[in-house]
Amino acid sequence: MESFPPSPTSAKATLLRHFPKEIREAYARSGATNDPAAIDTVVLGVLLDHVPDKARLAGLTLDDSVALIADLGLDSIALAQIVFFFEDLFEISISNAEIMGVRTVGDMRAFVRRKLADLSTAPPV
Partner 1 sequence: MRRSAVITGLGFITSIGNDRTEVLHSLRTLRGGLAPVEFFGNPALPVKVAGTIKGFSVESPSWRDWRYPERYQLSREQLRSLAPHGVYAVCAVEQALADAGLKADGLGDGATGLYCASAGSAFLLHHHIRQMHAVRGARGDPMGLVASIAGTLNFNLAAFYRIRGAVGGFAAACASSSHALGCALDDIRLGRQERMLVVGAEDVNAETVLPFAALHALSTNSDPAVASRPFDRRRDGFVASGGAVCLVLEDEETARRRQAPVYAALAGWGQAADGYSVAISHPEGAGLGAAMRRALADAGLAPGQIDYVNAHATSTPAGDRSEALALRSVFAAAGARPRISSTKGLTGHTLSMAGVMEAAFCSLALRERFIPGNANLVEPDEACADLDLPRAALDIAPGIVLNNSSGFGGSNVCHVLHRYPQ
Q: Which is nearer to partner 1, 64 or 75 (CB)?
A: 75
Q: Which is nearer to partner 1, 5 or 63 (CB)?
A: 5
**Binding residues among 79-108 for partner 1 as defined by CB under 8 A:** 80-81, 84, 87, 93
Give the torsion sign (CA, 69, 74, 76, 79). Answer: negative
Cα–Cα distance for residue pair 16/46, rounded to 1 Å: 9
Query: Does 58 engage in binding with partner 1 (CB under 8 A)?
Result: no
User: What single DSSP character describes residue 67?
Assistant: B
| 116 contacts 90 by C-beta, under 8 angstroms | yes
Query: Does 20 engage in binding with partner 1 (CB under 8 A)?
Result: no
By CB under 8 A, name the binding residues for partner 1.
Answer: 1-7, 17-18, 50, 52, 75, 77, 80-81, 84, 87, 93
